[in-house]
Chain A
Amino acid sequence: MSERLHPVFRALALPGILALVAFTLVPVVTGGLYAFTDWRGLGDFNWIGLDNFREIFDDPTTRGALWHTLVFGFALVVITNLVGLGLALGLNRTLKTRNLLRAVFFLPVILSPLAVSYLWKYILDPQGLANQFLGEIGLESWQRAWLGDPNWALLAVLLVLVWQQSGLTMVIYLAGLQTIPDDLLEASEVDGASTWMRLRRITLPMLRPAFIIASTLTLIFGLRVFDQILALTDGGPVGATETLATQVWKQSFANGRFGYGAALSILLTLMIGAFALLQLTLLRRREHDA
């Protein structure tokens, strides 16, 4: 079979392969090596073994960043899947305005995460819309600096992420719902199954592939979150919203510690790789079941 491919196509495949090798594979591996050095981006460096990693786990800021990265990943999966599924089930049929509503809920997905973060930064500002609203309805005691309060900043950033990403999970679940044959639902209705029973026994099990895709995507978005934090809190207050991605940026380019930044990005890579592997096994198991 292979000789049927004209040699010219082998040659033309090279730019794509070169792009993969030169811009992803080689840099990730060399970056991995820098993690064991004190390289500052220019000039010579020393091999320092695991010192960078030791420092990451000793420093409360980077330890916090590790933890927040995981929190963002998992919280985003849980919340955007629940919201997206709810939107998809509600907007799947019957509503007259469903097409318009779907378009509205999907819109933020395509907008610049940085740009929409500034809109929310105003809403969540101490003098912003959220606090003005709470004042209007007599809940002054609930007013706070949402992004400036270490107990609330993480949740506030999460709210912005959920607002922007739920439309994506909605579209994935809507696509999943279309694969469920109508007659299956109708037959069960004739058999006297309640709405809840149909949801639990037919709809949700058949949405499993959609769930795996939606949760993988949102998990990776959550683990990589960067733009929103830079705009909303810059990692503050007192490191309460620092993540691995923001720390890689600050340590490498603000502090010039490329070796240390490389060690942080290795941890991010390992985290994402581990979850991707988990997802792959789940997918495999599904194919076995089918």
Chain B
Amino acid sequence: MTLFRYTRWSLARELAFIAGALVFCIPLYLLAVISLKGPNEALVSPLSLPSDPEFDNYSLAAESQPVGMLSAMVNSAIITFATVALLIVFGSLCAYAIARHRSRLSTALYYLFVIGIILPHQAAILPLFSALHDLGLTGSHIGVILVYFGFMMPLTVFLYAGFMRGVPREYEEAAEVDGASPMRMYWRVVFPLVRPVTWTVAILTGLFVWNDLFVSLVFLSGTQDATLPVALYSFAEVSLGQWQLVFAAVGIAILPALLFYLAAQRRIVAGFAGGIKG
């Protein structure tokens, strides 16, 4: 440990940054206090602590129509976990083939995946909506899971393939010499070696799916299967001006991500930094 002493300049800088951070947090502070106030207090004195906490705001928001915020949270969790699990399994396998199969075809595929990352989802959504509608898959978990799986696959393959190219083949060859079957070799040797990317993929795609409004709005609005952002959007539109209710719904909507961040902040930031390097 080096002995750290403030100079006048470094103390001023530290205080300035802390003050800035406090101002930066005002929206989150407002969320905490206003979501617990009565309608009048919310308007008249937004910054004060709630004089008599109104937990009813949260129960009203939780029972919003047509889908309650809590059931929406379950829907979001199902959709997010299913999508991320599928992406990790099939995205990593696809990237493995591309990284290890050196041919023109695999190079071409790799670049197609890169192009897929930047294509805006708006450009694909209309034909997908009409096709899935014909298949009877709109308004269901399965339909959106498929769409998110498809939309996030390019990023997943890109991240895995970039990392796998840097992993030496020796480990795989050793496993083959030992007589391991291809599948055993993959899940026991390759997959553990690429764990850092698995974290990056899980964090980036998981947050995208969890927070996404657009796809869910197109496929699930007005249904019992709607996700948190869709439920929040419909609830906020009918609760216009009743800020204590809107804020309670916002509180429910962001609480899981907030807890996740508190529990795994370092891993999340590392996941973002890992994705950026790729």
Contacts and interface: CB of A to CB of B under 8 A. Distances in A.
B232 interface: yes
B203 to A, nearest CB: 9
B159 interface: no
A109 B272 contact: yes
A230 B213 contact: yes
Nearest to A160: B27
Given A28-B119, A112-B254, A119 B30 contact: yes
Nearest to A234: B237
Nearest to B16: A90
Contacts of A226: 213-214
A70 interface: no
Interface residues of B, number: 88
A245 B122 contact: yes
Given A101-B18, A122-B246, A168 B272 contact: yes
A109 B113 CA distance: 25
Contacts of A109: 272
Contacts of A15: 90, 93-94
A25 B126 contact: no
Contact of A171 (B46, B125, B246, B272): B272
Interface stretch (A146-154, A181-189, A269-277): A269-277
Interface stretch (B50-58, B95-103, B193-201): B95-103
Contacts of B4: 94, 96
B113 to A, nearest CB: 6
Contacts of B28: 107, 119
A195 B116 CA distance: 43
B211 A105 contact: no
A47 interface: no
Contact of B126 (A8, A127, A224, A261): A261
A127 B43 contact: yes
A112 B214 contact: no
Interface string B144-184: 00110111011011000000000000000000000000110
Contact of A114 (B14, B100, B123, B213): B213
A115 B27 contact: no
A19 B213 CA distance: 21
A97 B18 contact: yes
Given A20-B116, A31-B127, A122-B243, A227 B229 contact: yes
B128 interface: yes
B101 A30 contact: no
Contact of B118 (A10, A94, A273): A273
A122 B27 CA distance: 9
15 contacts: A23-B151, A25-B116, A31-B127, A41-B126, A94-B10, A97-B18, A110-B257, A115-B254, A123-B30, A127-B43, A129-B47, A223-B120, A230-B233, A249-B217, A258-B126
What 10 A-B pairs are tightest by C-beta distance, nearest first?
A23-B150, A16-B94, A13-B97, A27-B124, A119-B27, A19-B153, A27-B127, A15-B90, A6-B182, A265-B122
Given A97-B17, A268-B122, 9 more contacts: A5-B101, A9-B186, A22-B150, A41-B126, A95-B14, A104-B24, A107-B28, A114-B232, A118-B236
